[in-house]
């Protein structure tokens, strides 16, 4: 049926067969990867777990202690547990070290390189410090962390050589001060990142949690992609790995439920802008955005009250730079990096 030249779909939209096949074939559950199965498959593979942590003294200790007790002391599945101190101003480093992690500084691992900021730079520093063949990244603000968050992520990588990268997914309650909204979490995912990826990278539509902060990959693959600084890192990693190794080498694992500290919506607005910038650079690479162009880098937001309010505007204007930079693929810089100096 055609109304004025606009084709009108006369069938109900259906899931792309490619996405349906991938989601069926490359989705597993943490329960599919029991520790004993992983130990028998591990062989000579060394496993590193990296936690990027900026001011996470309240939660990093419990996560580190759980990994150390269950996956290092009781069962030697994890060989290396690193917390990247991302310029914290609290006792993150001391708490992490006391709980049994090796602590490296974001600035320490990027010494001699341009000073960049954000989560992506912390993750890049963690990969530079890590020595494992398989590297898992876990956010340090998780509540109710369980060992299966790690075993579920590394399981496919230890057992199936055709898998290069595994993304976690979970139910995401939005935990407020006095109430919990069952599936209210993942606000940037649902409002921006999922639509963005579905529209421009539909092959990735099967990822339940494309922005999940828990994921793992083979070092030799992770070292071949750039790390976008700030909060664009997860979006860039999915897009870049899709292009580098193909959808079939990517997988996802059900980790159950994830609770973490939530940022406010203004912070998530800045996160969204960083993700849009990240997508723009990938669209340029694909030829869908004009080379040499760039969206604006300043995000203007409004905050109730405040001393900087304008005469006729009963709100404070808050301006942030939401541009992103990139650390180049680690493999290109490895010879220039300081050997990991870890204060055990």
Ligand X SMILES: O=C(O)[C@@H](COP(=O)(O)O)O[C@H]1O[C@H](CO)[C@@H](O)[C@H](O)[C@H]1O
For ligand X, the binding residues (CB under 6 A) are 119, 139, 172, 174, 185-189, 211, 213, 231, 234, 260, 262-263, 268, 271
Q: Which two tokens stand for residue 148?
A: 């299966």
Q: Which two tokens stand for residue 209?
A: 């949690």
Residue 180 Cβ, how far from ligand X at the closest point, in Å? Answer: 12
As a residue count, the chain comes to: 344
Stretch that binds ligand UDP, among 139-147, 150-158, 284-292, 310-318 (CB under 6 A): 139-147
List the single partner that 118 binds among ligand X, ligand UDP, none, CB under 5 to 8 Å by kind: ligand UDP
Is residue 141 within the footprint of ligand UDP (CB under 6 A)? Answer: yes
Residue 68 CA: distances (Å) to CA of 46, 48, 135, 260, 293: 15, 12, 16, 20, 47
Residue for token pair 């580190």: 64
Stretch that binds ligand UDP, among 69-77, 115-123, 249-257, 286-294 (CB under 6 A): 115-123
- H, E, C per residue of 39-87: HHHHCCCCEEEEEEECCCCCCHHHHHHHHHHHHHHCCCCCCEEEEEECC
**Residues β-bridged to residue 320:** 299
List the single partner that 122 binds among ligand UDP, ligand X, none, CB under 5 to 8 Å by kind: ligand UDP
Stretch that binds ligand UDP, among 26-34, 134-142, 175-183, 321-329 (CB under 6 A): 134-142
| Site mask for ligand UDP (CB under 6 A), range 237-276, x = bound | -----------------------xx-x-------------
Residue 226 Cβ, how far from ligand X at the closest point, in Å? Answer: 15
| Site mask for ligand UDP (CB under 6 A), range 42-61, x = bound | ----------xxx-x-----
Q: Three-class SS of residue 102?
A: strand
Which secondary structure element, helix H or strand E, spans residue 317, and what is its range? strand 315-321
Q: For ligand UDP, give the closer residue by CB, 53 or 242.
A: 53
Buried b or exposed e, range 58-70, using 16+ CB within 10 angstroms: ebbbbbbbbbbeb
Binding ligand UDP (rule: CB under 6 A), the pick from 38, 64, 122, 236 is 122
Residue in 157, 153, 155 with CA at minimum distance from that of residue 167: 153
Residue 215 Cβ, how far from ligand UDP at the closest point, in Å? Answer: 12
Is residue 139 within the footprint of ligand UDP (CB under 6 A)? Answer: yes
Residue in 214, 201, 130 with CA at minimum distance from that of residue 166: 214
| Position of minimal CB gap to ligand X | 213
Q: For ligand X, give the closer residue by CB, 187 or 282.
A: 187
Residue 209 Cβ, how far from ligand UDP at the closest point, in Å? Answer: 11
List the single partner that 172 binds among ligand X, ligand UDP, none, CB under 5 to 8 Å by kind: ligand X
Residue 116 Cβ, how far from ligand X at the closest point, in Å? Answer: 16
Q: Which two tokens stand for residue 338?
A: 């300081």
**Residues β-bridged to residue 168:** 253
Residue 12 CA: distances (Å) to CA of 139, 197, 273: 39, 21, 32
Applying CB under 6 A, the residues found at the interface with ligand UDP are: 52-54, 56, 86, 118-119, 122, 139-141, 213, 260-261, 263
């Amino acid at each position: 049926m055609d109304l004025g030249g606009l084709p009108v779909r006369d069938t109900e939209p259906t899931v792309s067969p490619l996405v349906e096949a991938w989601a069926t074939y490359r989705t597993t559950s943490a329960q599919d990867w029991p520790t004993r199965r992983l130990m028998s498959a591990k062989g000579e593979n060394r496993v590193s777990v990296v936690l990027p942590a900026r001011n996470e003294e309240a939660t990093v200790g419990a996560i580190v202690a759980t990994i150390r007790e269950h996956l290092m002391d009781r069962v030697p599945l994890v060989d290396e547990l690193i917390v990247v101190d991302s310029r914290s101003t609290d006792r993150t480093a001391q708490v992490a070290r006391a709980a049994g992690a090796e602590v490296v500084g974001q600035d320490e691992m990027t010494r001699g390189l341009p000073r960049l900021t954000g989560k992506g730079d912390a993750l890049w520093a963690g990969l530079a410090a890590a020595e494992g063949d398989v590297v898992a990244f876990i956010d340090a603000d998780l509540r109710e962390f369980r060992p299966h968050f790690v075993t579920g992520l590394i399981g496919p990588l230890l057992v199936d050589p055709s898998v290069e990268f595994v993304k976690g997914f979970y139910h995401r309650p939005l935990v407020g001060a006095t109430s919990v909204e069952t599936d209210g979490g993942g606000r940037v995912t649902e409002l921006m990142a999922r639509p963005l990826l579905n529209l421009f990278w539909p092959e990735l539509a099967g990822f339940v949690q494309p922005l999940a902060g828990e994921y793992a990959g083979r070092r030799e693959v992770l070292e071949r992609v750039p790390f976008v600084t700030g909060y664009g890192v997860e979006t860039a990693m999915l897009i870049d790995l899709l292009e580098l190794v193909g959808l079939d080498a990517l997988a996802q694992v059900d980790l159950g439920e994830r609770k973490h500290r939530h940022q406010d919506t203004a912070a998530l607005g800045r996160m969204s802008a960083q993700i849009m910038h990240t997508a723009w650079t990938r669209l340029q690479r694909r030829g869908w955005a004009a080379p040499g162009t760039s969206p604006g880098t300043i995000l203007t937001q409004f905050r109730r009250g405040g001393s900087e309010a304008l005469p006729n505007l009963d709100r404070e204007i808050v301006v942030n730079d939401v541009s992103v930079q990139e650390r180049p693929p680690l493999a290109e810089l490895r010879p220039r990096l300081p050997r990991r100096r870890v204060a055990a």
